[in-house]
């Protein structure tokens, strides 16, 4: 089967591309080409790379030619001068749907965020939800996957936290009373995307994808610290407003912010409870991997 993946050089996109390519599917990886953490994905088995902005409707139409389905994994957890949430989450979804219709695509799978919804202060949450609505109202066969916090090799969780804890074994909570998270292994999410994209499952559904274990985020950080042999981890309780201030400073004055405002809002809101608009996965597709030492070691950077 010939399929396309937007955001195909990003964390989730490249894991999905490799999985499908290794299974014999022909994969068109669509991305701006700015993520160079794993350039080998562009020439991996059964993969063709198309350098495009997700708002380039004409370019998308050409890249999608001959494809039967597309996984829309393009997204960002922070804004910069070249990419706003409105541009990538809303305008990108609109451009993709237009190009998909013109190209004869019959299936669109959107990877969204578990708690995306309107009426919340976070632009990340609201623009993700607007992108969902564009896909749901497209008239195409769709699956919207509202995923929890996803981790694995090359992610923002293990990668950045691992580097931070190696330098300084200190972690500040988001809120004096933490909300919980349900971590999803990227390989589990890829299995769900594959089922919807090439196996015809979850048609015209909005589905929550959450991990099997609910825990405080600081508990997950402690497990990472143990794997890194940082036995004396200091946990500092910080109110949400202090974390928001820290994120603002980081995004304003650092070339590569170590934390973004959207990430703070996600943790302040909690990443464990599905919304009423989401159905549950059938048990055979539900994520099974817990956040164990083996899983953490597999995902940590060298």
Report d(CA 177, CA 227) in Å as an integer.
25
Under the phi-then-psi rule, with left for phi > 0, alpha for psi from -120 to 50, and beta for the rest, what region is 64? alpha
Cβ(268)–Cβ(172) under 8 Å? no
Cβ(157)–Cβ(164) under 8 Å? no
Report d(CA 192, CA 202) in Å as an integer.
9
pTM: 0.94
Query: Could you name the CATH architecture of 2-148+184-210+273-285?
Result: 3-Layer(aba) Sandwich (3.40)
Report d(CA 71, CA 23) in Å as an integer.
16
Report d(CA 175, CA 193) in Å as an integer.
33
Confidence at residue 241, expressed as pLDDT on a 0 to 100 scale: 94
The residues spanned by each domain of the chain are 2-148+184-210+273-285
- Residue 126, phi then psi, degrees to nearest 5: -70, -40
Average pLDDT, consecutive stretches of 10 residues, N- to C-terminus, the chain (302 residues): 95 95 96 76 90 94 96 88 89 97 96 96 95 97 97 88 86 94 97 97 98 96 92 90 92 81 93 96 96 94 74
Confidence at residue 230, expressed as pLDDT on a 0 to 100 scale: 85
């Amino acid at each position: 089967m010939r399929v396309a993946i937007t955001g195909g050089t990003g964390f989730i996109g490249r894991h999905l591309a490799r999985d499908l390519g290794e299974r014999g599917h022909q994969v068109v990886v669509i991305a701006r080409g700015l993520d160079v953490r794993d350039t080998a994905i562009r020439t991996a088995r059964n993969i063709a790379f198309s350098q495009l902005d997700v708002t380039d409707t004409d370019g998308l139409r050409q890249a999608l030619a001959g494809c039967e389905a597309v996984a829309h994994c393009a997204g960002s957890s922070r804004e910069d001068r070249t990419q706003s949430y409105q541009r990538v989450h809303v305008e990108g979804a609109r451009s993709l749907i237009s190009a998909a219709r013109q190209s004869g695509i019959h299936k669109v799978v959107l990877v969204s965020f578990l708690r995306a919804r309107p009426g919340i202060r976070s632009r990340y949450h609201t623009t993700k939800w607007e992108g969902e609505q564009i896909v749901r109202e497209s008239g195409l066969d769709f699956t919207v996957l509202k995923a929890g916090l996803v981790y694995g090799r090359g992610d923002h969780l293990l990668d950045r936290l691992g580097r931070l804890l190696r330098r300084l074994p200190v972690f500040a909570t988001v809120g004096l009373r933490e909300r919980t998270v349900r971590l999803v292994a990227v390989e589990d999410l890829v299995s769900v995307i594959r089922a919807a994209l090439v196996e015809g499952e979850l048609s015209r559904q909005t589905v929550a994808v959450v991990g099997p274990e609910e825990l405080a985020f600081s508990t997950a950080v402690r497990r990472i610290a143990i794997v890194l042999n940082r036995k004396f981890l200091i946990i500092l309780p910080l109110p949400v407003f202090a974390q928001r201030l820290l994120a603002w400073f980081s995004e304003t004055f650092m070339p590569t912010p170590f934390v973004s405002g959207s990430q703070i809002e996600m943790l302040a809101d909690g990443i464990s409870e599905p919304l009423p608009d989401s159905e549950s996965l059938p048990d055979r597709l539900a994520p099974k991997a817990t956040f164990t030492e083996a899983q953490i070691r597999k995902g940590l950077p060298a």
